[in-house]
């Protein structure tokens, strides 16, 4: 788990603002399935939001620490029932395949219309 500087945390909070939660932690808390989903999401996206059920703020803060400890992620923000975690991706994402532009049809000139 890397400790984030205040400047890094500020930038990550700004990036996370537009994100939607990708994982929901229910009443069973941190099951193996939930941990696996968090791990998969962190591999796909280095910054994720996690929604946590329950009204106990201290329990959510403890859960944030446990998630970060078990995944190697860094805590970015805990606001309400939403946790934001970040883990730098060691492998750069594969570039998306570029689409080839559609072939353009040759322009018709006035002469080509006259014969048809």
CATH number reported for the structural domain that contains residue 57 in this entry: 3.30.110.60
Assigned domain for 91 exists:
no
pTM, to two decimals: 0.73
Domain count for the chain = 1
Kindly provide the residue ranges of all beta strands, DSSP E only, lying in 1-116, ordered along the sequence.
23-25, 47-52, 74-79, 82-86
Assigned domain for 105 exists:
no
CA distance 115 to 97: 42
By mean pLDDT, which of 32-41, 66-75, 104-113 is the weakest? 104-113
Domain of 52 in residue numbering reads as 6-86
Assigned domain for 96 exists:
no
The pLDDT > 90 percentage for the chain reads: 63
Identify which has the larger pLDDT, 92 or 5. 5
Per residue in 53-91, pLDDT (tens digit) is 988 999 999 999 999 999 999 999 999 999 999 999 866
Assigned domain for 15 exists:
yes
């Amino acid at each position: 788990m890397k400790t984030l500087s205040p400047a890094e945390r500020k930038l990550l909070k700004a990036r996370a603002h537009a994100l939607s939660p990708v994982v929901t932690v229910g009443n069973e808390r941190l099951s193996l399935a939930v941990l696996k989903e968090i791990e998969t999401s962190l591999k796909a996206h280095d910054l994720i939001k996690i929604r946590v059920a329950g009204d106990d703020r201290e329990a959510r803060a403890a859960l944030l620490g446990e998630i970060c400890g078990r995944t190697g992620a860094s805590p970015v923000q805990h606001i309400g029932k939403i946790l934001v975690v970040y883990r730098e991706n060691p492998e750069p994402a594969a570039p998306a395949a570029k689409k080839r532009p559609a072939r353009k049809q040759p322009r018709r000139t006035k002469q080509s219309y006259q014969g048809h």
